[in-house]
């Protein structure tokens, strides 16, 4: 791989992360300025789409996706993914700039810790592509649907019983599950193109994506509304999305990760660091807001 190709791919991935961070800032500000709705109620999206800032966030999210695809055409996923998760750090810095305050140092450090944990996990696990055929089975599809529905129901039920400072986490977890499953389904239908894009219309995954994608967006806005700062919610989504996608790949798409003793130890340690960083972010956010 040429150095110029790596350099260009790195810049594109960082550009995607910056666009994603900026999009998240606009979404958080729009959500906080909108009357709060019960989790999962679609009327929130109808309110948000009327706001110019939120519409611009969608444009930035689309630009981030396009830059991500361009980066993947130049460098491997194992290099792109850790660069993409820096969108969390971009969010923290851009949020402080928009609010005209200094970035909170503990929030920055905890965000960096979150990024390091996720990046370490992805670099150690090194998930490989699979054949994507398992989801053609009706039983596999039903099992996945039950798992997703049960997980989302558990997250939403938990959110109702938690105090307000902690409520964004299960809502963001639910959004991350939707995003991760959507990514897994997109990977699974990629095997059905065969030069004919219309072939995906005959796959059930396409219609599941149409439902789960917007529902994930809705839940992420619920998470932004529930908390004083968007960083903990965004960190939870950033972490959950790739981990769920990897889980879908391992269980349903025939993908593989490194499974040696040292690799498993490193992966578990990285996940512990991730969980600790998200916990610290959630605990710190209300203090920053009150200050």
What burial letters (b/e) apply to 102-117, b meaning 16+ CB within 10 Å?
ebbeebeebbebbbbb
pLDDT at position 288, please?
55
Structure tokens at 120: 């370490």
Task: Report the candidate in 104, 135, 118 with the shortest Cα–Cα distance to residue 251.
Answer: 135
Whole-number Å distance between alpha carbons of 273 and 267: 10
Contact present, 169 and 277 (Cβ < 8 Å): no
Is the pLDDT reported for residue 127 higher than 80?
no
Looking at every residue in the chain, the average pLDDT score rounds to 82
Q: How confident is the model at residue 269 (pLDDT cuts 50, 70, 90)?
A: very high
pLDDT at position 155, please?
94
pLDDT at position 194, please?
57
Structure tokens at 266: 């490193």
Whole-number Å distance between alpha carbons of 240 and 254: 20
pLDDT at position 65, please?
83
Is the pLDDT reported for residue 23 higher than 60?
yes
In the chain, where do the E strands start and end? none
Structure tokens at 14: 């960082």
Task: Report the candidate in 271, 267, 269 with the shortest Cα–Cα distance to residue 259.
Answer: 267
> Could you give the percent of the chain with pLDDT greater than 90?
19
Q: How confident is the model at residue 7 (pLDDT cuts 50, 70, 90)?
A: confident
Residue 188 half-sphere exposure toward CB, CA atoms < 13 A: 30
Burial class (CB in 10 A: 0-12, 13-18, 19+), 290: exposed
Structure tokens at 226: 């529930």
Is the pLDDT reported for residue 290 higher than 60?
no
Rg over CA atoms, the chain: 19
Q: How confident is the model at residue 75 (pLDDT cuts 50, 70, 90)?
A: confident
């Amino acid at each position: 791989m040429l150095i110029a190709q790596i350099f260009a791919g790195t810049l594109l991935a960082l550009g995607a992360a910056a666009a994603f961070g900026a999009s998240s800032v606009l979404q958080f500000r729009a959500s906080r300025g909108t009357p709060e709705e019960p989790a999962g109620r679609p009327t929130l999206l109808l309110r948000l789409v009327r706001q110019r800032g939120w519409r611009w966030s969608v444009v930035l999210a689309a630009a981030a996706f396009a830059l991500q695809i361009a980066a993947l055409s130049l460098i491997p996923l194992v290099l792109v993914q850790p660069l993409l998760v820096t969108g969390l750090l971009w969010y923290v810095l851009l949020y402080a700039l928009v609010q005209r305050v200094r970035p909170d140092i503990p929030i920055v450090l905890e965000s960096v810790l979150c990024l390091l944990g996720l990046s370490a996990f992805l670099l150690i696990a090194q998930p490989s592509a699979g054949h994507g055929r398992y989801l053609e089975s009706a039983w596999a599809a039903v099992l996945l649907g039950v798992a997703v529905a049960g997980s989302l129901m558990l997250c939403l039920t938990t959110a109702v019983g938690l105090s307000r400072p902690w409520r964004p986490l299960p809502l963001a977890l639910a959004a991350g599950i939707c995003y991760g499953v959507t990514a897994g389904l997109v990977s699974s239908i990629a095997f059905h193109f065969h030069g004919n894009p219309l072939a995906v219309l005959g796959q059930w995954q396409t219609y599941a994506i149409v439902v789960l994608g917007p529902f994930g967006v809705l839940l992420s806005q619920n998470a932004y509304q529930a908390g004083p700062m968007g960083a903990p919610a965004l960190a939870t989504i950033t972490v959950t999305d790739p981990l769920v996608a990897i889980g879908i790949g391992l269980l349903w798409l025939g993908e593989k990760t490194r499974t040696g003793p040292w690799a498993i130890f490193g992966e578990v340690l990285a996940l512990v660091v991730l969980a600790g960083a998200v916990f610290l972010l959630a605990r710190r956010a209300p203090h920053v807001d009150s200050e």
